[in-house]
Structure 1
Amino acid sequence: MLKIIAILSMVTDHIGTVFFPSNQWLHIIGRLAFPLFAGGVAIGFRRSSNPKRYAGRLLLLGIISQVPHFLLFQSKYLNVCFTLFAGIVILMILNTKINHIVKYTSVISIFILAHVARVEYGVYGLLTIVVFFYFQDIWSSLVLHTASIMIGMILYHYSFIQLFALISIFIVIYLRQYDFRLNKQFSYGFYPAHLVLLLFFNNICG
């Protein structure tokens, strides 16, 4: 259920970005998408029997999706799958029993690399995944996610509508108890497929 809401929010946002860029309501709905995916990744990491394979699928998905993502949005950013991949790598490092200096140096390095490499949502995106993983009560989540959004506003000049992303906290916390699984092919294939479809219609309409 969580992933379905995230997908619907993402598609709404992308339709707004491509076809109705001045429609604020579509973008407001779209602000829910990334934190819902981030929350889903945090939950998925907890449940995964093989986090490395989970991360590998997202990395492959990011590579496959990058060309249609660039053509559709003319964006200089690496698509969101790379963000989710980096978030899982950070969680794997944080949950590994290694020297603390090595652990936190590695994590900070990934944050810096994500910012420099211009992965979508950057530092804000990675913080969102980490917060969802470690803080699962409403009030701590609200405070920390608000702080993450403020960092995003400073680093990436997000508009105030990014604050609507806070609604996602209540959705993730409420729905995390439900283990509704989508077909794996649909779950992983939808992202690149919808980019190609939007690109097709955009070329026709253009």
Structure 2
Amino acid sequence: MAAVLQHLSVQPARSSSLDLIKWLAMLTMLMDHLRYLWSDAEWLFVVGRMAFPLFCLGIAANVARSRPGDLYNDGNLRYLGWLMAFAVVSELPYRLLSPMSSTLNVMPTLMLGLLVAWGMHHRDRMSGSMAVAALLIAGVLHSRLMYGAIGVLLPAALLVAISRYHRWWLLPATVAVLANTRNRWLAESSLSLETVAILLTAFATPLLGLWLFRQAWAPRIWAVRRWGYFFYPSHLAALHLVWIAL
């Protein structure tokens, strides 16, 4: 799944700060899912709220680096194809690890978010039609999508913030909070230190990601490339096997 971020840089040269964002996304996602092995570690859920906004930032940056109107190219086709493929591949390991979940795995939300971001960026008839279709699908599947229809809007909100940072930085932070409010764990909990921490983390993560996006880091970081697509279903399956062994 972390390979959603593989096109994160808007510059031709590889950026260490963007590779850092990729690793942060993977690490926080893994920490979130470790709750299935250590159910008492509720703080892992708070940390896990960082993963989704960081993956959405990857989608937004991938779209932002393309020339408006240049939708029809092999790179975009492969990008959408990989997301579609792993939305299907990831469902079984996700269901095995979280059989009580009422939502699909996160990949369909990210895939629909990509289509909406394309519509906002390219603004032609085809991209606009795909964006409208994605929004309609998100509305119909709202209860089944992880982070709901609001989560589908987060890549587009981050895309706006990338191009108009100083005026629009609050937009993705607000969308991230709203997307998290439909989480069943949060909805069933009364106002507490944990729920406040969840919402603050959701609010702060897009801001942190946008800040990192603009930094230049001297140390080189191991790049996350196409292999990252396999990380999402693989780590879900591995955690399920560990859970069985325990």
TM-score by length of 2: 0.71
Work out whether residues 70 and 76 of structure 1, in 8 Å CA contact, stay in contact via their aligned partners in 2. Answer: no
Correspondence for 1:15 among 26, 29, 34: 34
Secondary structure of the structure 1 residue equivalent to 2:142: helix
How many angstroms apart in 2 are the aligned matches of 1:103 and 1:200?
38
Name 2:45's counterpart in structure 1: 27
Deviation, 1:23, is 2.1
Work out whether residues 124 and 149 of structure 1, in 8 Å CA contact, stay in contact via their aligned partners in 2. Answer: no
Name 1:97's counterpart in structure 2: 124
Secondary structure of the structure 1 residue equivalent to 2:153: helix
Correspondence for 1:68 among 93, 101, 123: 93
**Does residue 1:193 correspond to 2:234, yes or no?**
yes
Which consecutive residues of structure 2, in runs of 5 or more, have no partner in the other structure? 1-19, 67-72, 187-194
Name 2:3's counterpart in structure 1: none
Name 2:23's counterpart in structure 1: 4
Correspondence for 1:142 among 157, 161, 170: 170
Alignment of 1:58-137 (within 5 A): 58-74=83-99, 75-94=101-120, 95-98=122-125, 105-116=132-143, 118-136=144-162, 137=165
How many angstroms apart in 2 are the aligned matches of 1:70 and 1:183?
26
Name 1:167's counterpart in structure 2: 204
Correspondence for 1:182 among 224, 231, 235: 224
Name 2:17's counterpart in structure 1: none
Q: How many residues get paired? A: 201
Secondary structure of the structure 2 residue equivalent to 1:79: coil
Name 2:8's counterpart in structure 1: none
Give the CA RMSD over aligned residues: 2.7
Which consecutive residues of structure 1, in runs of 5 or more, have no partner in the other structure? none
Question: What percent of counterpart residues are identical?
Answer: 27
How many angstroms apart in 1 are the aligned matches of 2:45 and 2:82?
28
Secondary structure of the structure 1 residue equivalent to 2:125: coil
Deviation, 1:109, is 1.1
Alignment of 1:146-161 (within 5 A): 146-150=174-178, 152-153=180-181, 155-156=182-183, 159=186, 160=195, 161=198
Correspondence for 2:78 among 53, 73, 78: 53
Which of 171-180 and 127-136 deviates more?
Answer: 171-180
